[in-house]
Amino acid sequence: MAPATAAQPLEFLLNGSPVHVDTASPNMTLLEFLRARGLTGAKEGCAEGECGACAVVLVADEGGRTAFRAVNSCLMFLPMAAQQEIYTVESLASHGALADAQRAMAAAGGSQCGYCTPGFVMSLFAEHYRPGRTGPCDTLALAGNLCRCTGYRPIRDAALALGAPPDDRFRRRLGQASPAIGAVEIDGFARPSTVEACADILARDPSAALVSGATDLGVDSNLHGRRWPTLVSVEGISELRDFSETTTGVTIGAGLPLTDIGRAWREAPPVLAEWLTLFASPLIRNRATLGGNLATASPIGDAAPLLLALDASLRLAGSGGRRTVPLAAFFTGYRKTVLERGELIAAIEIPRPLPALVRFYKIAKRRLDDISTVAAAMAIDQDTAGRVRRARFAFGGVAATPLRLVEAEQAVEGQPWNEAAVERVQDVIQRTLTPMSDHRGTKEFRLEVSKSLVEKFWWERPR
Amino acid sequence: MKTAGQPVPHESANGHVTGEALYTDDLAGRFPGLLHAWPVLAPHAHARVISLDAALARVEPGVIDILTGADVPGDGNTGPSRHDEPLFPDEVMFHQQPVAWVLADTLEAARLGASRVIAKYEPLPAILTIQEAIDAGSYLTDSLRIARGDLSALESSALRVEGELSLGGQEHFYLETQASIAWRDESGAISVHSSTQHPSETQEVIARVLGVPRHHITVECLRMGGAFGGKEVQANACAAIAALGVWKTGRAVSVRLTRQLDMALTGKRHPYLARYAAGFSSDGRIEALRLLLYSDGGWSLDLSEPIMWRSLFHCDNAYHLPAVEVTGRVCRTHKTSQTAFRGFGGPQAMVVIEDILAQAAQRLSLPAHVIRERNFYREGDTTHYGQEVEGADRILTIWQRLKKTSRFDERRSVVAAFNAQHAHVKRGIAITPVKFGISFTATFFNQGGALVLIYRDGSVQVNHGGTEMGQGLFTKIRQIAAESLGVAEERVRVMPTRTDKVPNTSATAASAGTDLNGAAVVDACRQITGRLGPVAASLPASATFADVCEAAYRQRIPLFAQGYYKTPDIHFDPVAGRGRPFYYFAYGAAVSEVEVDAFTGAHRLLRTDILEDVGDSVSPIVDRGQIEGGFIQGVGWLTLEELLWDDNGRVATDSASTYKLPSWSEVPEVFEVNFLERATQPGVVLGSKAVGEPPLMLAISVREAIREAVAAFGHGDVVTFASPATPERIFFAVRRVRMGSGVFTFSVPHPL
């Protein structure tokens, strides 16, 4: 079903110049568009946001400051570029003079075959100009880019060689506001600006699919050829990007990119940084959102275990009104949730006080930029006598949905937190978890390592 | 003017960082009306094709044509060494093998068109593992064998180590997938841009498929976005489909595989199964080794036979084997045709001998580094195939220097102290050597050609037979040419590789790109400088190079020359298993230290120190890059990258999200790389040595360090684990060694 209003031209700023696209397939990626336009610096290395060879930079608002944000252009549908300001690798050098990030990469021997290099340059460029950066560039900012040739050492050297960004057109750009990302409605793509408008579109067009950062849906499109007649982006709904921190809790807008959560949450527990570092990669975190991660209901999503351990609830909004659902009751089956047609996640609420001790563990073949074999979040509050007041054990990758082991929690609550308690939790794991074997790990490993992680959590307790 | 030996950045570095360096698919916009190709994929690992019905595909919007076997004017078989790779098979030999290709205006239309082709199959039984192939007697080669000495020591030695080791394969994961664009050129002939390591063979295969003489086909490789052996022969089929599409439609055709198609359709490093029995003296000297190697060759022969030969040549690594019988056989399975990958069979065999030595050390309660050192080749020793190990003293020199600079002995004590204090986290440190033979083992490949053109203004174009895949060949060639001509590098332009400049070239492979093509460039430059010398002598001392060139032109002296080089003194008799297959050996060693977490099986690479013999480095940044990059690629193969196939023979790890190559988290926190000093290699261009492949095998130090760390959880028991050392394998290895059970019981189901 066609959107109610007439199709509008798609407009955005590309390398400083306005671009008008009259007809765009909503399933065309930004990468395909750029390459067809002759901007072939961005490459397709994997088409699923793993390698970063397609990275470009967006100008984005970062809590009131303007910043460059490196993103995977293979996971942005072209209509999502509407009203954005985008820079590609071709725009960095000026009259033959390389940008600092480019010069450093070249001089350090940071390129061999060169195919991944433009993507690295864009990630490094964004990090070089990161507002508020005082020390050297954070090499973890490049963790979403894969290189098969160099072994990364020279790229690390290039990143560490960069000082403050020069006072140039790019730095001056950061002194001005980022583009406003408002409502858009073009053929096959809608970006409403309110929850209500979004719910309306979903209600009147049963074929419409919700999209947030597209870091999962885009993979479905690129790798599995899945197509949607209409995509409805939540990126224009400012309410979904709100963040608030009060004495009673923390509320995270469901559409806030993961990167911004780390920045906005000022009194975050240490587990947040551990978790974010292991959660996908910077290029993904710059687009991906908690709402998207939870709504896809993947049993191996990294958000659910930690949020379950923090007793999070979800604020849902739709044409039928608003309601709040505990996250523990949100997943109903493999890739299934309580979300109704026309309903979306508006925010995630985390009550305070937070547990005194929270840890997040991720078992994966590769420490950074990988998908969980098993993910676990565990939390413990103890009373002054050392007895467990509150325990939370939440796992991903061990059943059809992420889950909380309530039985295990009850088995230790009121008891001392000791090796005997660990064994009781392990016993529940042994009896109740139902992992599967796949290319990430066997079911035996998933079960045994889940038990082992409880012991690790105990062993690593503050002493 | 000294240009060789200078640390210059990659010749295309500025193009890389600005995005201006072009790769095959970047050229698509230059071909109006370009068609895109998508294959029709068979959903069986083994099946007979009963029928193909493309009627529905033809009416799909945007679809222009369907390529099938009936369209091939020549010989539709692309097998490089044996006639065993039909482009359009009647019998499907691996899951997702293409049976037809759809050409369309867009890739999307081609993909949809391919999904509309109705193919009917009769499924046949499939062989999916090495063991299944052995049981079924399914082989691609006879047994290859090298032997010397008396194996009776196997029965009489103080210690016998026997067992088997399974080694996983490796996906190349060059960042640029296979890509070709073909078009009919201005003269009506076929031209092809191809991401190929072997333009001459790509040309040969296209000519064969089209049934035309090779002079009708021109293949050009601008540069590759990585190759690592994966484009040595496997680029040919894509190029042939593109050329056939042009032949049939008259329009330019692009064949670019998506990552998933590339991983599903192209060959990988061979998985291996090794069965061994070795005898050791009580002081850890290896007295005899019987080794049986099986590789999983996949559906067709490809390069599997020379790869297995290289395994046989390298089962000694750096160790003198007084008595040995090594036998290798390539299994035929219904999988992708496994192919060349950096190291070319050497790494698998070297992992096996290091595994055997490590087990012997644990059984004899000797440090592994002591046993390794005791077994080194000494000057004057010969290999099991009868080649003298020239430069063998460098093994010990490198070993001793590296132990000193890495503070190996001191750090072993620190590691032991750490382990005594930590119950659930243990560290391990290991040092391993590398000796790697340099030359194509097929002697005739060891030739290189060049064509050097100088213009009257003194600017230079260098053409040669090698291809640039990121290994820095063009950077080195530019330095070599500038050095040979006595000009600044900026005067020298290295041209894209084209079959109409230098014909009948060899693949850029076997680490020999610089040795062969660099020497050919030197030959051409010497001819020219020989002619220019008298001209320069007749001019004032202030004459520039351009002045000399202009004067030479006016004196009717040619300013161009062809260069040629063939590696001398190499030969091998495969029947006798004797000869001198390698012109020389490359040497190196690495020390790695890891930390293993028993709770998760995960490890961290804390530090690696490398000392590598690169001869006199032509290009230090390039050489260091090859060492570091090769090492990390080896770390990926041995610890991280796990290729898995499902029960239907489909590659289960067919994407970047399921197949993990090293990222930032695999880089050692401290990474010290040095070259062996005063290491001039006689008889090689500018005294340098090959560096492309040997460093990959330095990563064995990481596998051995993990073994040491796992052993520290136990009480002296032997630690074994298959490769790669994934967290899951290490998690269970730690459990076994903690329980102290079963590890001494070697099961040898098949007597050797």
Task: From chain B, pick out residues whose CB is under 8 angstroms from the CB of A156.
Answer: 664, 667
Would you say domain A358-459 falls under CATH 3.30.390.50? Answer: yes
Is B65 in the same domain as B211?
Answer: yes
Residues in chain B, pLDDT under 70: 1, 741-752
Mutate to test the interface with A, among B177, B664, B726 (most CBs of A within 10 A): B664
Task: From chain B, pick out residues whose CB is under 8 angstroms from the CB of A448.
Answer: 731-732, 735
- In angstroms, the CA B116 to CA A225 distance is 14
Is B402 in the same domain as B509?
Answer: no
Q: What is the CATH number of the domain that holds B369?
A: 3.30.365.10
Smallest CA–CA distance, residue B659 to chain A, in Å, is 9
- In angstroms, the CA B27 to CA B181 distance is 8
Smallest CA–CA distance, residue B625 to chain A, in Å, is 6
Q: Is B261 on the interface with A (CB under 8 A)?
A: no
pTM as predicted: 0.97
Q: Does B664 sit within 8 Å of A42, measured CB to CB?
A: no
Q: Is A161 on the interface with B (CB under 8 A)?
A: no
CB nearest B17 (choices: A102, A152, A440): A102
Is B356 in the same domain as B469?
Answer: no
Strands B425-438 and B584-597: antiparallel
Residue A416's alpha-carbon distances to A76, A376, A454, B627, in angstroms, are 50, 21, 15, 53
Q: Is A221 on the interface with B (CB under 8 A)?
A: no
Q: Does A459 sit within 8 Å of B9, measured CB to CB?
A: no
Give the pLDDT of residue B746. 36
Class in CATH terms, A1-191:
alpha beta
- In angstroms, the CA B67 to CA B182 distance is 15
Is B368 in the same domain as B507?
Answer: no
C-alpha Rg value of chain A to the nearest Å: 23
What b-and-e string marks burial along A190-227, b requiring 16 or more CB atoms within 10 Å of the CB? bbbbebebbbbbbeebeebebbbbbbbbbbbbbbeeee
Q: Is residue B530 part of a domain?
A: yes
Task: From chain A, pick out residues whose CB is under 8 angstroms from the CB of B105.
Answer: none
Is B302 in the same domain as B433?
Answer: yes
Residues paired with A391 in a beta bridge: A380
Q: Does A116 sit within 8 Å of B175, measured CB to CB?
A: yes
Residues in chain A, pLDDT under 70: 1-7
Is B337 in the same domain as B452?
Answer: no
Is B405 in the same domain as B489?
Answer: no
Helix (H) or strand (E) holding A453: helix A443-459
Do residues B634 and B704 make contact, with C-beta atoms less than 8 angstroms apart?
no
Residues paired with A395 in a beta bridge: A376, A403
Task: From chain B, pick out residues whose CB is under 8 angstroms from the CB of A274.
Answer: none
User: SS3 helix, strand, coil % of chain A, rounded to 5?
Assistant: 35, 25, 45
Do residues A141 and A126 make contact, with C-beta atoms less than 8 angstroms apart?
yes
Task: From chain A, pick out residues whose CB is under 8 angstroms from the CB of B631.
Answer: 151
Q: Is residue B494 part of a domain?
A: yes
Is B104 in the same domain as B201?
Answer: yes
CB nearest B259 (choices: A46, A148, A441): A46
- In angstroms, the CA A264 to CA A257 distance is 11
CB nearest A109 (choices: B9, B228, B652): B9
Q: Is residue B452 part of a domain?
A: yes
Do residues B641 and B724 make contact, with C-beta atoms less than 8 angstroms apart?
yes
CB nearest A148 (choices: B19, B174, B622): B174
Class in CATH terms, A240-351:
alpha beta
Helix (H) or strand (E) holding A231: strand A230-233
Is B283 in the same domain as B228?
Answer: no
The residue among B337, B264, B277 whose CA lies nearest residue B307 is B337
- In angstroms, the CA A371 to CA A352 distance is 29
C-alpha Rg value of chain B to the nearest Å: 27
Q: Which residues contact A366 (CB under 8 A, 6 or more apart)?
A: B640, B660, B662, B663, B665, B666
Structural domain spans, chain A: 1-191, 240-351, 358-459
Do residues A388 and A415 make contact, with C-beta atoms less than 8 angstroms apart?
yes
Domain limits for position B71:
31-125+178-256
Residues paired with B288 in a beta bridge: B279
Do residues B452 and B463 make contact, with C-beta atoms less than 8 angstroms apart?
yes
Is B560 in the same domain as B583?
Answer: no
Three-class SS state of B642: coil
Do residues B503 and B200 make contact, with C-beta atoms less than 8 angstroms apart?
yes
Q: Is residue B149 part of a domain?
A: no
Using left for φ > 0, alpha for ψ between -120 and 50, and beta otherwise, residue B439 falls in left
Q: Is residue B552 part of a domain?
A: yes
The residue among B33, B407, B20, B371 whose CA lies nearest residue B222 is B20
Q: What are the E-state strand segments in B179-238?
A: 179-184, 190-194, 217-221
The residue among B232, B225, B268 whose CA lies nearest residue B508 is B232
Mutate to test the interface with B, among A72, A116, A149, A223 (most CBs of B within 10 A): A149
Which B residues, 147 through 176, put their C-beta within 8 Å of a C-beta on chain A?
Answer: 173-176
- Cβ burial of B256 (10 Å; 0-12, 13-18, 19+) is buried
Q: What is the CATH number of the domain that holds B228?
A: 3.90.1170.50
- Cβ burial of A248 (10 Å; 0-12, 13-18, 19+) is exposed
Q: Which residue of A has its CA nearest to B724?
A: A365
Phi, psi of B9 (to 5 degrees): -65, 170
Residues paired with B597 in a beta bridge: B425
Is B465 in the same domain as B612?
Answer: no
Same fold across A1-191 and A358-459: no
Q: B135-138 long-range CB contacts below 8 Å, 24 or more apart?
A: B138/B331, B138/B332, B138/B333
Do residues B272 and B129 make contact, with C-beta atoms less than 8 angstroms apart?
no
Give the pLDDT of residue A7. 60
Q: Does B642 sit within 8 Å of A109, measured CB to CB?
A: no
Is residue B693 annotated as part of the catalytic site, yes or no? Answer: yes
- In angstroms, the CA B33 to CA A37 distance is 15
Q: Is residue B368 part of a domain?
A: yes
Q: Is A287 on the interface with B (CB under 8 A)?
A: no
Q: Is B14 on the interface with A (CB under 8 A)?
A: yes
Q: Does A452 sit within 8 Å of B600, measured CB to CB?
A: yes
CB nearest A47 (choices: B29, B259, B671): B259
Q: Is A148 on the interface with B (CB under 8 A)?
A: yes
How many domains are contained in chain B? Answer: 3
Catalytic residue of the set B287, B693, B704, B708: B693
Is B312 in the same domain as B357?
Answer: yes
Q: Is residue B198 part of a domain?
A: yes
| Max Cα distance, chain B (Å) | 85
Q: Which two tokens stand for residue B323?
A: 């008595």
- Cβ burial of B601 (10 Å; 0-12, 13-18, 19+) is buried
Mutate to test the interface with A, among B106, B175, B650, B738 (most CBs of A within 10 A): B175
The DSSP secondary-structure symbol of A385 reads T
CB nearest A115 (choices: B176, B628, B660): B176
The torsion of the CA quartet B294, B299, B302, B308, rounded to 10 degrees, works out to: 0
Task: From chain B, pick out residues whose CB is under 8 angstroms from the CB of A457.
Answer: none
Smallest CA–CA distance, residue B37 to chain A, in Å, is 16
Q: Is A74 on the interface with B (CB under 8 A)?
A: no
Q: Which residue of B has its CA nearest to A457?
A: B599
The domain boundary, picked from B566, B596, B628, lies at B566
pLDDT in tens, B369-392: 999 999 999 999 999 999 999 999
What does the mean pLDDT of chain B come to? Answer: 96
